[in-house]
Structure 1
């Protein structure tokens, strides 16, 4: 591993940036120049998405055979990590599009009939919006059976990228008369009749992700759009896949945010490098960042560029490292602020925005306490959730 201070080598190459990471570095300064303004206005990073589309970044994870960029999973993690150094909101919104693309790529590698969807994403640079994390095992809302499909109503949270989204990937509970409580997974166009994006994303951090609530009022979902049926509230085998693919991508965003905070802190205290009181603060920051880097690296390695075994043990290992990474990266940015001192409290420096943004890491599944419960049950040989 190449090390310069705390190692910031790329997971996929272990060397200088190439390919998609180089694209991120090309776009990054523009993202950084607009980050404070988007944050202050609670506005979506729309201009950044124009540039992402121009560079075909939204199709980076689509296999080259299907018209996409052919990036490996590890290369996607590096891409998001790099974007996170410049603008956390852009990186997080992009990760919420990238992880369903990556999941579709895993499915394609398994021989599932998802090639047409991936080809559409590549050809049209479609923006995917997903609500899977907030729905989790029980889902939310209600699906009612009608001729040819279902009518779905409900309010979906955390629809990142919703201001310019093209396709909503979501789910809804259905009281199946034969199978009992069932969750239906499906995709609907963001312009579907009865679908409304609410302008309500007003948050402490990650303010520019456009993660608005999405209101579904009798939206028609044809039978052909339902791609998965599963028992409600039960750990389904596909949940062994989703976190293993998605969480390394999402946590790579926060790794980039933490690395940006570390770099900013070191620049700010450069004039005090001979002050003995500064040394232990910097050392604590370095330790925390190294812990986060190791945890994220292991998450990426667990996915193994889509060759992982889709088992509970794999998902559990990812969840454990997600908690370790989220806590360590949050501590990194807190220590960066402590290192800088009172000057870091001013918005103009940008450090307080990084601190607010990093706090969002804890809310992605599984949060720490549910993860401890999940992992404890797995270690004791119990079903992970029931």
Structure 2
């Protein structure tokens, strides 16, 4: 889909008060319920989530964070995060698909120029979605980018984009793809930029080759860029190398997905136990639901879901005011505020990841081999949680937290993957 083929009309700006969280949850509950109905089967058959994503577009969910002045829903960061937990309970693939989209919207709001906001934000109001093509695999050094953007000698004001990306989350579904590239101009230092290209533009090839055992439908595969023409207005440069609340926002998406998974595994375990009649000879009750050991596990799973959601909302409550202040043109958060936010987000990751992964394993202790039945597909909760937890390895987050607390170390705002430089 391009700007010319968008079917959803941007709503008119409204001076009415923004909706409450309860209003938003009531509005989107039927959409989330529809998504949940086919979630397990979509994963089992690996049916891409084009239809569920379109339901979210049509409902206005993808424009939720867009201010009403730009034709969006005007929801707060805190409201969005609460709804993301609801959506992840229905299908965490959808929250991951939309992660780069919402990150793009908030980055343009927080760091974008007035020109970038005028060009790109109205497209979001019309239903356009944005994907991501940042990471490169292979033999590149840490911090290096092979994807290049060079001036087009045959077309002044145009650029040519070439490269190959992997882990292109959401790009298989997206109308526009934000490509991290190295702008190369003779006689000038190279610059890191974001090139916006239409998903169906000539020279853009999106491959459905993501084969991770979890989050199977996120479209996190290869994006190939062959001599793609990029106009000057589609080359964005955000401030880099300095503390930013967008880093915590990015991590908060994973945490919201994990909290939703915790809810889903608690829900499915409860349903499984309540419907089960067979017991073990060495059990403690005539029905599994009356066995105190089973009750203990069910209680632990419910408590993990409760704790995870509380932690996620706590980080959101710290992040929300920082974004609102910047969007209102007020003073931006200072480094001490951003460092405190990043520490909170890192601690949240360590706490939530370990708890949810443990819960996703413990759930199988409530039954015997029948809990492994392919028809139940309870394993998808662990697979999805394990995949999300692997994006930003928790061992490094825990180490960073310890170093900050013990030695006053700087938060790790930026991390990249590649080959380490060889010692001289």
Q: How many residues get paired?
A: 363
Match of 1:328 in 2: 355
Which of structures 1 and 2 has the bigger CA Rg? 2
Counterpart check, 1:116 vs 2:119: yes
User: Among residues 312, 322, 344, which one is paired with 1:296 in the alignment?
Assistant: 312
**Is 1:97 aligned to residue 106 of structure 2?**
no
Contact 1:103 1:245 (8 Å CA) reproduced: no
1:161 aligns with 2:165: no
Is residue 2:90 matched to residue 1:83? no
After superposition, give the CA deviation of every residue in 1:163-193 in whole Å (9 maximum; x if it has no partner): 3311111211346666655422231221222
Provide the secondary structure at the position in 1 that maps to 2:292. Answer: coil
* 1:305-384 map, 5 Å: 305=321, 306-307=323-324, 309=333, 311=335, 312-313=338-339, 314-364=341-391, 366-376=392-402, 378-379=404-405, 380-384=407-411
Structure 2 residue 201 is the aligned partner of structure 1 residue 196: no
CA distance in 2, matches of 1:245, 1:155: 26
Give how far 1:107 is off.
4.0
Q: Does 1:127 align with 2:129?
A: yes
User: How far off is 1:131 after superposition?
Assistant: 3.2
Q: Which runs of 5+ in 1 are unaligned?
A: 1-15
On the 8 A contact 2:213/2:383 being kept in 1, the answer is yes
Q: Distance in 1 between matches of 2:252 and 2:53?
A: 22
Task: Decide whether aligned partners of structure 1 residues 81 and 188 sit closer, same or farther in structure 2, where only a CA change above 3 A counts.
Answer: same
2:147 corresponds to which residue? 142
**Match for residue 258 of structure 1?**
262
Structure 2 length normalisation: TM-score?
0.76
* Distance of 1:375 and 1:189 partners within structure 2: 39
2:240 is the alignment partner of 1:240: no
Give 5+ residue unaligned stretches, structure 2: 1-19, 275-286, 326-332, 415-424
Question: Partners in 2 of 1:351 and 1:261 — Cα distance?
Answer: 8
Q: Which residue of the other structure, out of 106, 110, 113, is the alignment partner of 1:106?
A: 110
| Distance change in 2, residues 1:17/1:120 (3 Å) | closer
Superimposed CA distance per residue, residues 226-263 of structure 1 (whole angstroms, 9 cap, x where no aligned partner): 22166xxxx712x5222222322332122112101101
The normalised TM-score by structure 1 is 0.83
For 1:82 and 1:208, how far apart are their aligned partners in 2? 18
1:213: how far off? 1.4
Report the RMSD for the aligned CA atoms in angstroms.
3.0
Q: Against the structure 1 CA distance between its residues 283 and 74, is the aligned structure 2 distance closer, same or farther, given a 3 Å change threshold? A: same
Specify which structure has the higher proportion of strand.
1
